Amino acid sequence: MEDRRVAVVGGGVSGLAAAYHLHQTQGQEVLVFESENRLGGHAHTVHVETGLDPNTTGVDVDVGFMVFNEDNYPNMVKWFEELEVPYEDTDMSLSISLDQGGMEWSSDGLSGLFANRSQIVKPSFYSFIKEMLRFNENGPLLLGLDPDDPRRSVTLGQYLRDEGYSDAFATHYLLPMMAALWSASMEDVLQFPAEQLMAFFCNHKLLQIFDRPIVKCDILNLSLSTFLPTFLPTFLPDTQHKQWKTVTNRSKMYTEKMASVLGDNLKLSTPIVQVKRIEETGDYELFTTGNVSVGLFQDVVFACHPPQALEMLKAGNNVDDELLLETLEKIQYADNAVYVHSDPKLMPVRKAAWASWNCMGKSDMLTTHNSHSSAKQNEAMEGAQSGFGNKVTTSGKEEEEEIQTTQLEGKDGRMRAVYVTYWLNRLQNLKTDQNVFVSLNPHEIPAPELTHRRQIMAHPQFTTDTQKARKTLNDDFQGKDGLWFCGAWQGHGFHEDGCRSGFQVATELTGIPLPWASNNDNDDDETMEPLMLLPAPDLTLAASNPKGGWVTSLYKTLTYTWPVAICKKFITSFLHIAIQKGRLNLKLNDGCIIGFGDGTPCGSDASAVTLRVFDDWFFVKTALEYDLGLARSYMSGHFVVEGLEDPKEYDSVLRPLNLPDETNTSIGDPVGIIRLFMLLIGNRDAPGPVHKPLKSSQIYASALSNASGLVISKIGSFLNYLFFTLTMDNSERGGSLKNIHAHYDLSNDLFTSFLDKETLMYSCAVFDAVKAPPGQTGMVFRGTLEEAQIRKVDNLLDRAQLEPGMRLLDIGFGWGGLSIQAAKKYGCKVHGITLSVEQKALAEERVKQEGVGDLITFEVVDYRTFARRIENVGAFDRVVSCEMIEAVGHNHLGEFFWVVEQVLKSDGILVMQAITTPESRYENYRTTTDFINTIIFPGGCAPSLHSLVDAAYQQSTLTLEHIDNIGLHYARTLAEWRRRFNANESFVRKLGFDDVFLRVWNYYLTYCEAGFHSQTVNCLVLVFARQGCNALVPLCETRSVSQAKSLTESEVQHWLDESD
């Protein structure tokens, strides 16, 4: 039987590791193809002529892989032992130098720590030291979270914000370290998955004071892969350091030995440009430059960068799986300019701060941007505070490379915030008196006479998208149809990750373990599966071994354990009374499920609503702040609502079967949140038994309205209301402006991501709808959101009896949709007023695009200020206000109607579209706080119909003349917004919005959708005018005062068939 032929594309560490094991085992013939004339990839040894001693020929230095540790590089160390590669002890230290030495410290003793003596008296320096200790202690807790916990998937930028770390900590320590560590730009660093960072730190013992590595500088991606884990420098006594090593006489020692092992099976200077599958046999034919075939192979191991593998497969033009190509495309790499030189200007200013690894940068560019140091730790921010607040390609052409170079190094290069310089004399034990440095993307080019070499090296970028793509590649495509993928990008980007990845592919291909894995002690344990290769250290050990003594334990007991136990008791007792119908399950971390309700149908469907509680602080937040605490707990990632396994169990109106599932780790199931609210509403409004009016039935019915029965929540509710009253008043002198800014000035791009593309109306649309057929509840809708918004706008203008030549005032014009339609359809003059600068800017652009600039003017002004101008008194024929009244506030409703009275002509008409609260709940609603008026629309109030009529009576002569209720249309509108928003998640994240914001926005949209879907919140179109207004005569016509005949069942079915 012929040996199975395996092609390994790439002669870096991954390819060499895979080829070594394949070559050592029987049953396959392996050939290694390397595009360069040497092996090693980033294990690259270069010769430097020092020029100081005429009797020497210079020194060899490594510019990529430099050092390793026996504990953290188990497979590589065993491999070196088999190859008889010698290695020796090395020394490593860290320094940070910012603003040309303005802030400078190193880990090399007290003199290094205070290399800049002025730092002794700087509070910010000690602040970063304190926070470093907190980071080292709390960081591993991220790895102890449940795999599905949304807090585990946050980026580094969000983690720093959520945990309240200061800019001093980020600037003086973590961000320059990270940028140098993975050769990444500052933008990429902030988007780096925090879990990946913490796993790497724990794996390499970097989050502890004692028993830590002295040194580590694996720059497979030409970066140091470690740093001093705390401010405590090497002068502290520590007898259990892990000694770091470097290969004696550089890494060429092991690449040369591998070249000897492979012999004729190694093909240098043979770039693979095309991998083509032979359909008849399933083999792959590989081609090199000039379309020359190098043979047929049953398996192809891509031990190269994924973008390179992508180009080879694309060139073959016969890979049917587009998802594979899309996945490879998402695994990103970036180029870096590498200088080997002897210019000391690229080192710290003070010699006392010189270290093996030196991070040089600019503090003003090392920032978390949206970081809020005043935030409470582990708590979601309110409203606008909640986080809302360049890939370089390689070219072989010399002239294009020069263009690329300007994007890499220099003050405006890819790593313009920070660059790293390695002091090779200290790091690699160089036997020379001349200093030799390696600098990555330096902000200043070293002097030409001191420059030994410049080259470009590409390194993986560990973004969230890359992490997801890597998982998809391993789960769905690894080994499929004989295609294999390995590289350091499969791990943390370092040499052990590379060789482990290559060995893993080789052992899966052969089914034979590595010799050092087969001799492992675990083989004596028959209950364990035999090891194929040595695994990485357990990353969760640090999380399971908390630091601190009895003081820390006592503090946790008093501040967490006891409050949780007390509040959990309160909440479970309360829910047993409040949830009588349906089923609510709380699934806890210990696997326990606490159930409430009798299981009878209640809410939107008959299935149980399950909350997956990840953090027991959920009980504290909810007990102390009731419904607002529930919202804040969800925002903080303490819980999500699990989706139903069978999509058919959902209410078909809430989640049509033909639409994609929106569930993800960050937000859980958004439709599940609606189901939760519907369950709560169903129990809140359920009538109790008449014969027990004062007992449990009445308690639970009122409990979900005002938290009666949950006495402890009264404290938090009172404090929230006090804060609301003092800080969110809608006064004319700044209050309204601040509240409007907090929501509407978030980002025009954010709103365009989910609003309709025609009008950008941020209000209820009017769809083509009929009553649902038998077997369904509510209404069924058809048509697009764009069509529905245009229908709504036309309806409002029709209700206003607008005519050509009239003058219209649009109060709260949004992004100009109604104003533009009025000008285009009727040719009337429109003046719009708002308090949002962002809205005005985009609205004016749209007016210009539509060519109606001569008919429309917009202004940023408070409606009360506007009405006091003499020229505006009695100046308008019509006034339209579309869902602006909710921003007025209960205490200012009369002022609004006074304004309309002032500006409206005698026969004028006001048309208002308003979200309203039922009278039965209004008094309780307006004297408390909730999620919407505190977090989403600060200071907002959805008035009752009675309060509007009363305010009009008290402050004007306007009377209510006509009402339409379009509330059910709002449920559909909100569902459309939510689906569009979640479908555009990647775009929203690129705008700078984080996981907290995604949860905030989903909670907001589903919270409102449930209210309108259950018809416990209304959206009314109201027409006001003075007595005897002749312009309203058309509203008395038969067509306006009579209801159209309802459709028969067959007509409804025909209507539905037309919709399909």
What is the mean predicted confidence (pLDDT) over 903-911? 95
Q: What pLDDT shows up at residue 70?
A: 84
Using an 8 Å Cβ cutoff, are 407 and 390 in contact? Answer: yes
Phi–psi pair at 1053, nearest 5 degrees: -65, -40
For 220-237, the pLDDT digits (tens) are 333 333 333 333 333 333
Most confident of 46-55, 218-227, 983-992: 983-992
Whole-number pLDDT of residue 543:
54
Structure-token match 């008449």, residue found: 690
Confidence (pLDDT) at 387? 33
Phi-psi region of 411 (alpha: psi -120 to 50; beta: other; left: phi over 0): alpha
**Percent of the chain clearing pLDDT 70 (strictly above):** 83
State what percent of residues in the chain have pLDDT above 90: 52
Give start and end residues of each alpha helix (H) in 409-559: 424-427, 464-472, 495-510, 515-518, 541-544, 550-556
Lowest model confidence (mean pLDDT) among 240-249, 319-328, 454-463: 240-249
> What count of other Cβ atoms lies within 10 Å of the Cβ of residue 719?
13
What pLDDT is stored for residue 417 in this prediction? 81
Helices (H), 636-712: 670-684, 696-706
Q: Is 418 within 8 Å of 175 (Cβ atoms)?
A: yes
Q: List, for residues 589-646, the tens digit of each pLDDT value.
A: 988 999 999 999 888 888 999 999 999 999 999 998 888 899 999 999 999 999 999 9
Q: Provide mean pLDDT across the span 405-411.
A: 61
- Judge if pTM exceeds 0.85: no
Reduced to 3 states, what is the DSSP secondary structure of residue 334? strand
Mean pLDDT (the chain) is 83
- Mean pLDDT of all residues in 770-783: 80
Pair 428, 90: CB distance under 8 Å: yes
Reduce the secondary structure of 923-942 to three states and give it as a string.
HHHHCCCCHHHHHHCCCCCC
Q: What is the model's pLDDT at position 209?
A: 36
**SS3 call for 284:** strand
Question: Is residue 735 predicted with pLDDT exceeding 50?
Answer: yes
pLDDT digits (tens, 9 = 90+) for 358-406: 998 888 877 665 433 333 444 433 433 333 332 222 233 333 333 343 4
